[in-house]
Amino acid sequence: MGAVITTQDPAFDQARKVFYGSYDRRPAVIVRPAVASDVAAVVKLAAAAGLELAVRSGGHSPAGHGTTEGGILLDLSSMAAFDLNAADRTAWAETGLTAGRYTNGAGASGLATPFGDTGSVGIGGLTLGGGVGYLVRKHGLTLDSLLGADLVTADGSLIRVTDDTDPELFWALRGGGGNFGVATRFHLKLHPVDMIVGGMLILPATPDLITRLIAEAEAAPDELSTIANVMLAPPEMPGLPEEHLGRPIVMLLLAYAGDLEDGEKSVGPFRALASPLVDMVGPMKYPEIYQFTEGGPPPKEEAAWSFFLDDFDLDRAGSIIDHLHQTPTPIAVAQLRVPGIDWRLSRRSTTRPTSSG
């Protein structure tokens, strides 16, 4: 068995913390398994004791699923093995790995699996929840690269799930909800992604600029993924001219996964939207893109919601600016993503396989 941390342990208060500070919960015990059989033992223990079981990979769950009040917290962070097969472009990765550690390991071979936009997020919840990030337009969601998973089921059984062995369960794992089991290891597809053109542009935000930005993102080649964060510039923002502090800006993150010369041409239209206030876009190794999103934890009190739009126009852009000026919160951000038509149709993810029996 791996490490067991009780409420009396000096490390308990630090060990129980998750990324979102609004979830200030105290588990009865925290277990950090070393191998899959440890996970199975904890699942059986929780069932026998009638205790809630929370599973944590990186601790970034916005819904607080990575912690529990009075239950057992299964912290997978010690299970971080990574086995890369460069020849067939696949990897086996334990679910305690973070996206950043995985990406650094794969990047040494010029390969990548599409994860989210923050390196400290655990690959467990990210993969099973979908995974939308810097490669979404070119290589899809993270779950589109999932080939199989090692799973501990509710009765403590250790099984391997693939589209061939159990298509119904494999479908369910890839976005069908939760509580199908504890994934301990993933078999993931890798894609050739070495150097990219990427980084951060900061532009002055107006309704017209935001509307044109979205149009450019929609027209961009699949190799280019963008994330536009519209906000009022905070009081202290390194590199930003003082006269723009407190005014609407777009913090635009870009990643072009393809030929570098083509990448420079593809980011040109975004630079042309307005004179950039900050321009940190250029050729880089793909793992370096995570440097732009590794900040501190969010405020303890946070509210967020997401939705889809079929179109985007000047009125919608204007309403974003209006809401930013009217919100009473210290920080407000509207994040706009144009993931591409393939993602909207959820390639392979929306069709439930027909049961053979």
Q: What is the pLDDT of residues 123-168, one digit of tens each?
A: 999 999 999 999 999 999 999 999 999 999 999 999 999 999 999 9
Residue 345: pLDDT above 60? no
Q: Please tell me whether residues 185 and 306 are part of one structural domain.
A: no
| 292, 207: one domain | yes
Q: How many CB atoms lie within 10 A of CB 50?
A: 7
Rounded to whole angstroms, how far apart are CA atoms 155 and 306? Answer: 35
CATH of the domain at 291: 3.40.462.20
Q: How many domains does the chain have?
A: 3
Note whether 111 and 131 are same-domain residues: yes
- If asked whether residues 228 and 292 sit together in one domain, one would say yes
Q: Are residues 184 and 284 in the same domain?
A: no
Residue ending a domain, among 59, 78, 97, is: 78
Tell me how far apart the alpha carbons of residues 109 and 165 are, in angstroms, rounded to a whole number: 30
pLDDT tens, 309-341?
889 999 999 999 999 999 888 889 999 999 875
Q: Are residues 180 and 235 in the same domain?
A: no
Are 324 and 272 found together in one domain?
yes
Q: Are residues 282 and 307 in the same domain?
A: yes
**Rounded to 5°, angle at Cα 108 from 106 and 111:** 45
Asked if the structure places residue 344 within a domain, the reply is: no
H or E segment to which residue 14 belongs = helix 12-15
CATH number of the domain residue 140 falls in = 3.30.465.10
Q: With respect to residue 356, please indicate whether it lies within any of the assigned structural domains.
A: no
Q: What is the pTM of this model?
A: 0.91
Question: Does a structural domain hold residue 218?
Answer: yes
Does 354 map to a domain?
no
| Residue 186 domain-assigned (yes or no) | yes
**Tokens found for residue 15:** 């060990």
Q: Give the chain's mean pLDDT.
A: 91
- Judged against a pLDDT cut of 80, whether residue 254 lies above it is answered with yes
351 inside domain: no
170 within some domain: yes
Domain containing 18: what range? 3-78
Q: Are residues 74 and 105 in the same domain?
A: no
164 and 213 fall within a common domain: no
Q: Are 250 and 213 in contact (CB under 8 A)?
A: yes
Query: 307: which 2 tokens?
Result: 């939705």
- Distance, in Å, from the CA atom of 327 to the CA atom of 280, rounded to the nearest integer, reads 29
Q: What is the pLDDT of residue 341?
A: 56
